[in-house]
């Protein structure tokens, strides 16, 4: 039967392995994953007047089982408003964040949006946060275009938006400004409520990473040898990022990365 609130949430980051971690954790007998993986309640549907009961209906009770319920919506990390809402509704909730090296993350995000353009799947980005609003991702990257902007051109569009302080999307690079986003969450949650993992940490040692998550959630360890370790929701690229592109975007992230390392006290294995 449906009808629960989550005990923990994988809050991000986008293009950082959340689908894989969600899948791995769904195989634990004491955990129950939402259907679907991403509910988008706090960043989207709550603004369209969907009820709390609607949200709770995504978490199914298994009879005679003591379970922890969870979902994975990587957009959540990007919004301080989501952090505030979560703190008000479920103040003791635990949060998991996966950080991916931001240049690689941004290139992956650009490839995803380009794929939507090329496959005529623009509907995937046209749902906006609030009713009646035009998706700003659609507005800047898709609308009235015969071809999708190059990686550098898309970054330059966003840099102009940053300069004038307008629109939070597209956020191909801004979603990699991790320190700012984590600070928003630390306004509302204690540091020990947030587990921060690295993208490479997850995929180079899935079993070890899952042990860290089990310890964080205070649940029993299980044998993970039977779990399929192949990455979920990964995409192949037409080409690798060029040296020029990498150097251009690396420059953008230098100060943001240093702020992150200072905030965390360590460099993630990303």
Contact between 113 and 143 (Cβ < 8 Å): no
Same-domain status, 168 and 88: no
Q: Are residues 251 and 133 located together in one domain of the fold?
A: yes
Count the neighbouring beta carbons within 10 Å of the beta carbon of residue 237.
12
> Would you say residue 222 lies in a domain?
no
Residue 229 lies in a domain: no
- CATH code at position 55: 3.40.50.300
- 42 and 89 in a single domain? The answer is yes
Mean pLDDT, rounded, for 127-134? 78
| Residue 111 sits in the same domain as residue 161 | yes
Pair 110, 206 in one domain? no
Residue 197 β-bridge partners:
98
Task: Judge whether 42 and 73 are in contact, CB under 8 Å.
Answer: yes
Nearest CA among 260, 258, 216, 238 for reference residue 28: 216
Q: What is the pLDDT of residues 43-101, one digit of tens each?
A: 999 999 999 999 999 999 887 788 999 999 999 999 999 999 999 999 999 999 999 99
Same domain, 27 and 147: no
Q: Does 190 share its domain with 141?
A: no
The tokens for 27 are 């195989």
Domain membership flag for residue 91: yes
| Nearest-angstrom CA–CA distance, 173 and 175 | 5
Sort strands 8-12 and 94-99 into parallel, antiparallel or unpaired: parallel
Q: And the tokens for 247?
A: 């150097």
Where in the sequence is the domain holding 66, given as residue range(s)? 8-101+176-217
Q: Give residue 147's pLDDT.
A: 97
- Mapping DSSP onto H, E and C, the string for 2-51 reads ECCCCCEEEEECCCCCHHHHHHHHHCCCCEEECCCCCCCCCCCHHHHCCC
> Are 107 and 195 contained in the same domain?
no
> Residues 170, 240: one domain?
yes
Domain membership of residue 230 (yes or no) is no
206 inside domain = yes
> What is the distance between the alpha carbons of residues 154 and 157, in angstroms, rounded to a whole number?
5
Average pLDDT value over all residues in the chain: 95
Q: Is the pLDDT of residue 242 over 70?
A: yes
- Asked if 241 and 167 sit in the same domain, the reply is yes
Same domain, 18 and 89: yes
Closest C-alpha to 97, from 186, 36, 169: 186
Give the least confident one: 120-124, 183-187, 202-206, 266-270.
120-124
Task: Confirm whether 261 is domain-assigned.
Answer: no
Quote the pLDDT of residue 1: 63
In a domain, 225, yes or no: no
Query: Mean of the pLDDT values across residues 115-132?
Result: 85
Task: Flag whether 50 is in a domain.
Answer: yes
143 and 92 housed in the same domain: no
Task: Please tell me the distance from the alpha carbon of residue 199 to that of residue 177, in angstroms, as a whole number.
Answer: 16
In the chain, the number of structural domains is 2
């Amino acid at each position: 039967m449906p009808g629960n609130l989550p005990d923990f949430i994988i809050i991000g980051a986008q293009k950082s392995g959340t689908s894989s971690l969600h899948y791995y954790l769904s195989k634990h007998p004491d955990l129950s994953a939402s259907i679907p993986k991403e509910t988008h309640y706090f960043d989207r549907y709550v603004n369209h007047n969907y009820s709390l009961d609607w949200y709770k209906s995504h978490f199914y009770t298994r009879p005679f089982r003591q379970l922890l319920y969870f979902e994975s919506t990587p957009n959540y990390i990007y919004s301080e408003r989501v952090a505030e809402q979560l703190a008000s509704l479920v103040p003791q909730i635990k949060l998991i964040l996966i950080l991916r090296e931001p240049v690689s993350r941004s290139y992956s995000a650009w490839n995803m949006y380009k794929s939507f353009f090329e496959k005529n799947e623009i509907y995937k980005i046209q749902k906006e946060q609030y009713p009646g609003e035009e998706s700003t991702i659609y507005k800047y990257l898709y609308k009235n275009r015969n071809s999708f902007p190059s990686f550098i051109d898309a970054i330059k569009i966003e840099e102009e938006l940053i300069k004038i302080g307008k629109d939070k999307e597209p956020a191909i690079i801004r979603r990699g400004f991790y320190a700012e986003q984590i600070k928003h969450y630390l306004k509302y949650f204690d540091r020990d409520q947030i587990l921060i993992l690295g993208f490479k940490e997850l995929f180079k040692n899935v079993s070890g990473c899952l042990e860290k998550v089990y310890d964080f959630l205070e649940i029993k360890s299980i044998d993970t040898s039977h779990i399929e370790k192949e990455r979920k929701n990964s995409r192949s690229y037409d080409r690798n990022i060029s040296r020029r592109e990498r150097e251009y975007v690396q420059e953008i992230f230098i100060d943001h990365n240093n702020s992150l390392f200072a905030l965390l006290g360590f460099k993630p294995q990303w």
